[in-house]
Amino acid sequence: MRELYLLIFYILFSFSSSAQSVISGKTKDAKGRPVPGVSITIKDSYDGGTSDSIGTYTFKTTELGDKIIVASSIGYYTFEQKITLKDAPLNLDIPLKEEPNELKAVVITAGTFEASDSKRTTVLNPIDIVTTASANADVTSAIRTLPGAQQVGESEGLFVRGGTANETKVFIDGTLVNNFFFSSVPDIAQRGRFSPFLFKGTVFSSGGYSAQYGQALSSVLLLESIDLPERTSANLGISTVGVSAGYQRLAKDKNSSWGFSYNYTNLLPYFKVVKQKPDYFHVPEFHNTDFNYRVKTSKTGMLKFYGYMNASNLGLRRSDIDSSVLKNAFGLKNVNLYGNLSWREKLGKHWKMNLGLSYSTNTDKINNQLQDQANSKQTFINYPFSQKNFDIKANADLAVMKAVFERRLKGLSMFRIGGEYFYNKDKSDFSSDSVYQVNSHSSDNLKAAFTEVDIYVTNDLAAKIGTRVEHSSLLDKPNIVPRISLAYKVGEVGQASLAYGIFYQKPDNSYFIRTYRFNELQYTRATHYIANFQKVTREYTLRAELFYKKYHNLIKTIPSNNGIDSLNNAGYGDAKGFELFWRDRKTFKNVDYWVSYSYLDTKRDYLNYPMAMQPNFATHHTASLVVKKFVTKLKTQFNGSYTFATGRPYYNIGYNAPAKSYKIFDEGTTINYNSLSFSVNYLPNIGKTGASRFTVFVFSINNVLGSRQVFGYNYSYNGMNKEAVTPPATRFFFLGCFISFGIDRSDDVINSNL
């Protein structure tokens, strides 16, 4: 019995007195640097410690025998090791290996500007697009304040690094968009069709982009549409250019949403107050409607549909350049339909799928007339007046299918494979005084396949290697290209990237529907070389980029007495330059600004150029300053932007009959371009949580100083008369009020110091 009590006593005693040993050591990463904040634990015990700022740790334990020591820290692989604990001190150094981390890993940025809401620090936010003063909520106008794009005021589109607007393609949710801009009007740049509020992510690539994208010689603009809205809401807008209304419904289970909006734009009242240089016989009028439906198809899947319809009508009259008494009247009616269906889903553990389907049809009806002072139609049989009365009905259809499958490899490495199919049909019915009627059409089946791999050697070194194969039925030729880019992290926030790639683009559809001979046309081709360095933190961004681009097989027109005889691919050119970008959110309190500068040296021999020369859409120096300041007390955001560009060359190129070739009859350089813009957003309900109504007032002026802007010159047929191409009005004013019910839209503009 006594033994038993002793036993019990012994057992009880053993819980209260145990041997203690001290474990200590250092934590080190792969480069031997200390890792602070590592949790070191003896598995399944309370005993452990945390490494200090120099990586040392020490703790006591009462555990004995064979145990497992575990060390873990954010951003590192968990370290485990078996140890045997005796009643003695133990010294154990802990090596830690960095875990691949999307937020910390190097990103390939050669040629790329990204605006997204991802957790990674990006150069721009989605809000930056809509609060850039000169942009008036137009995506591409905001992009024009970044390095790489030219200031071309007479024509829509992005002219990137010596490329034409046609060389930049726009993609929504992965599929190509035809007619992204409103239909062209001679000498007046048009806006993009789509509201920037539709998109949560924008990537502007000025070169060297992924094998996923093709048929763009210079640049791609990638837009990613928003997923489900935060809440159900309705909105109303009224402005100096029109009215709008919309409704967006989020299902109760927050798994799906639908919405629609309608926009009516009529510039009549505005043109009454702000006089325009052209005489508008039909003031621009636009009806826009759109519809969207988005549904979560599973925990990881999302299906989105977006449908858009636009009908517009406008007509303007200018004095005819070939005569002192006649006028030229241009009328345009446009109908555009666009639908985009996209579906992304995870397939099993490793695969991700992105499917896209889009269709668009665009019809432009153009009527051009020669008129007298009383605005009645005049008919002449002599050249060039015989060419000035005509009607065109142009129709463009495009259907796109795209499928991308992505497989996650070890760490952050990724493998991608996919295909694209484009079907386009272009039709043109042309009739004039001299030509009874010419109906022409052209269609093409373009198939493409691509594969790409993102290799992360470490968090600090990444490569993207891809290849793309295409075949156009119209050209009946395949092409295959390589795309390679590399990125290396230099220090905590710096990184260097390189990109190389070959890019093919078939000649513009419009060439195929004219009456030229186009024997043996080939793809036009460009080769890009880009070197980039960037440092990004939340406070500032510094970016520098060098590029060289070589053009091959550009389209050349072969002249004859009657105009253009045929086309070939004898054109060529190159572009080189450097670009700088600096953004600073810290130096001046509550002020965020960026500066961009582009130097471009480009020459090309294409179309009717008699030799390789600087094209009329390119200048050497372009610089922009964009400033944003939110004044909390006034609940107002002030935005300013200033853009400067040196003059662009202009040419009067004509047919030199004796030599049977093109000749420059006159040339020059336009004056420098200056534009100062200013906008104010006033948000009276900002910050009122629970407010059912949210109002934004917007006021903006483009070209506040009224600087004279000349985009080029038009020449009369005989070259005797020369007229400057200028904006339709010196300044553009905008005043609008947008009310949203049931949703607090303050997030769009809220101050960063809140």
Judged by beta carbon, residue 201 or residue 649, the one nearer another protein is 201
Contacts made by residues 433-440, CB under 8 angstroms, sequence distance 24+: 433/379, 433/381, 433/386, 433/389, 433/390, 434/381, 434/386, 434/387, 435/390, 438/515, 440/513, 440/514, 440/515
The least CB distance from residue 218 to another protein, in Å, is: 30
The least CB distance from residue 204 to another protein, in Å, is: 18
Judged by beta carbon, residue 251 or residue 502, the one nearer another protein is 251
- Identify the residue among 119, 272, 275, 349 touching another protein (CB under 8 A): 119
Please identify, among the stretches 9-17, 269-277, 544-552, 725-733, the one whose residues bind another protein according to the rule CB under 8 A: 9-17
Residue 482 main-chain phi, psi, to 5 deg: -100, 150
Sign of CA dihedral 509, 511, 514, 516: negative
**By C-alpha distance, which of 729, 694, 615, 592 is closest to 127?**
592
- Measured from the Cβ of residue 341, the count of other Cβ atoms closer than 10 Å reads 17
The least CB distance from residue 16 to another protein, in Å, is: 8
Helix spans in 422-538 (H): 509-512
**By C-alpha distance, which of 564, 570, 436 is closest to 510?**
564
**Percentage helix, strand, coil for the chain under 3-state DSSP, each rounded to 5:** 5, 55, 35
- Per the DSSP assignment, residues forming a β-bridge with 495 are 489, 534
Is 54 an interacting residue with respect to another protein (CB under 8 A)? Answer: no
Give the span between the Cα atoms of 174 and 177, in whole angstroms: 9
The least CB distance from residue 732 to another protein, in Å, is: 27
- The per-residue DSSP string of 480-496 comes to EEEEEEEEEEETTTEEE
Residue 387 main-chain phi, psi, to 5 deg: -90, -5
The least CB distance from residue 6 to another protein, in Å, is: 12
Give the span between the Cα atoms of 619 and 650, in whole angstroms: 11
Is 4 an interacting residue with respect to another protein (CB under 8 A)? Answer: yes
| Cα diameter, the chain | 134
- Identify the residue among 21, 28, 34, 39 touching another protein (CB under 8 A): 39
- Identify the residue among 191, 535, 635, 731 touching another protein (CB under 8 A): 635
Give the span between the Cα atoms of 697 and 62, in whole angstroms: 68
Is 46 an interacting residue with respect to another protein (CB under 8 A)? Answer: yes
Is 1 an interacting residue with respect to another protein (CB under 8 A)? Answer: yes
Judged by beta carbon, residue 264 or residue 697, the one nearer another protein is 697
- Identify the residue among 538, 586, 660, 693 touching another protein (CB under 8 A): 538
Give the span between the Cα atoms of 57 and 71, in whole angstroms: 11
Judged by beta carbon, residue 34 or residue 75, the one nearer another protein is 75
Q: DSSP state, 135?
A: G
Query: What number of chain residues touch another protein (CB under 8 A)?
Result: 45
Judged by beta carbon, residue 189 or residue 749, the one nearer another protein is 749
- Measured from the Cβ of residue 417, the count of other Cβ atoms closer than 10 Å reads 15
Q: DSSP state, 184?
A: P
Give the span between the Cα atoms of 276 and 318, in whole angstroms: 11
Print the binding letters for residues 471-490 with another protein: x by CB under 8 A, - otherwise: --------------------
Judged by beta carbon, residue 72 or residue 190, the one nearer another protein is 72
**By C-alpha distance, which of 23, 1, 150 is closest to 83?**
23
Please identify, among the stretches 5-13, 275-283, 444-452, 694-702, the one whose residues bind another protein according to the rule CB under 8 A: 5-13
Q: Which residues, numbered 215-254, are part of the site for another protein (CB under 8 A)?
A: 230
Judged by beta carbon, residue 376 or residue 689, the one nearer another protein is 689
Is 494 an interacting residue with respect to another protein (CB under 8 A)? Answer: no
- Identify the residue among 198, 295, 542, 750 touching another protein (CB under 8 A): 750
Judged by beta carbon, residue 493 or residue 607, the one nearer another protein is 493
Is 746 an interacting residue with respect to another protein (CB under 8 A)? Answer: yes
- Identify the residue among 404, 448, 686, 710 touching another protein (CB under 8 A): 686
Is 325 an interacting residue with respect to another protein (CB under 8 A)? Answer: no
Judged by beta carbon, residue 70 or residue 461, the one nearer another protein is 70
**By C-alpha distance, which of 554, 667, 665, 666 is closest to 605?**
554
Q: What is the bridge-based pairing of β-strands 279-296 and 302-319?
A: antiparallel
Cα Rg of the chain (Å, integer): 32
Is 689 an interacting residue with respect to another protein (CB under 8 A)? Answer: yes
The least CB distance from residue 82 to another protein, in Å, is: 18
Judged by beta carbon, residue 666 or residue 747, the one nearer another protein is 747
- Identify the residue among 54, 66, 74, 349 touching another protein (CB under 8 A): 74
**By C-alpha distance, which of 537, 544, 557, 555 is closest to 491?**
537
Give the span between the Cα atoms of 239 and 216, in whole angstroms: 36
Give the span between the Cα atoms of 555 and 566, in whole angstroms: 10
The least CB distance from residue 485 to another protein, in Å, is: 24
Judged by beta carbon, residue 285 or residue 460, the one nearer another protein is 460
Q: Which residues, numbered 124-163, are part of the site for another protein (CB under 8 A)?
A: 125-127
Give the span between the Cα atoms of 339 and 399, in whole angstroms: 10
The least CB distance from residue 117 to another protein, in Å, is: 6
Is 439 an interacting residue with respect to another protein (CB under 8 A)? Answer: no
Is 537 an interacting residue with respect to another protein (CB under 8 A)? Answer: yes
- Identify the residue among 20, 44, 482, 693 touching another protein (CB under 8 A): 44
- Identify the residue among 27, 41, 369, 703 touching another protein (CB under 8 A): 41
Give the span between the Cα atoms of 474 and 446, in whole angstroms: 8
Q: What is the bridge-based pairing of β-strands 732-741 and 693-702?
A: antiparallel
The least CB distance from residue 271 to another protein, in Å, is: 36
- Measured from the Cβ of residue 86, the count of other Cβ atoms closer than 10 Å reads 11
- Identify the residue among 47, 224, 320, 452 touching another protein (CB under 8 A): 47
- Identify the residue among 12, 273, 374, 659 touching another protein (CB under 8 A): 12
The least CB distance from residue 537 to another protein, in Å, is: 7
Q: Distance between alpha carbon 709 and the CA centroid of its chain, in Å?
A: 26
Hey, what are 326's tokens? 């006649």
Is 37 an interacting residue with respect to another protein (CB under 8 A)? Answer: yes
Is 753 an interacting residue with respect to another protein (CB under 8 A)? Answer: yes
- Measured from the Cβ of residue 261, the count of other Cβ atoms closer than 10 Å reads 21
Give the span between the Cα atoms of 36 and 53, in whole angstroms: 5
Please identify, among the stretches 116-124, 169-177, 476-484, 729-737, the one whose residues bind another protein according to the rule CB under 8 A: 116-124
The least CB distance from residue 740 to another protein, in Å, is: 13
CA dihedral 343, 348, 352, 357 (to 10 degrees): -30
Q: Distance between alpha carbon 705 and the CA centroid of its chain, in Å?
A: 29
The least CB distance from residue 710 to another protein, in Å, is: 38
Is 102 an interacting residue with respect to another protein (CB under 8 A)? Answer: no
The least CB distance from residue 70 to another protein, in Å, is: 9
Is 19 an interacting residue with respect to another protein (CB under 8 A)? Answer: no
Judged by beta carbon, residue 81 or residue 515, the one nearer another protein is 81
Sequence-distant (6+) residues with CB within 8 A of 675 are 134, 151, 642, 643, 702, 703, 707, 709
The least CB distance from residue 410 to another protein, in Å, is: 21
Judged by beta carbon, residue 117 or residue 667, the one nearer another protein is 117
- Measured from the Cβ of residue 414, the count of other Cβ atoms closer than 10 Å reads 16
The least CB distance from residue 57 to another protein, in Å, is: 10
Is 68 an interacting residue with respect to another protein (CB under 8 A)? Answer: no
**By C-alpha distance, which of 211, 169, 177, 175 is closest to 193?**
177
Residues that bind another protein (CB under 8 A): 1, 4, 7-8, 11-12, 15, 37, 39, 41, 43-48, 50, 74-75, 101, 103, 117, 119, 121, 125-127, 230, 537-538, 632-635, 686-689, 746-747, 750-754
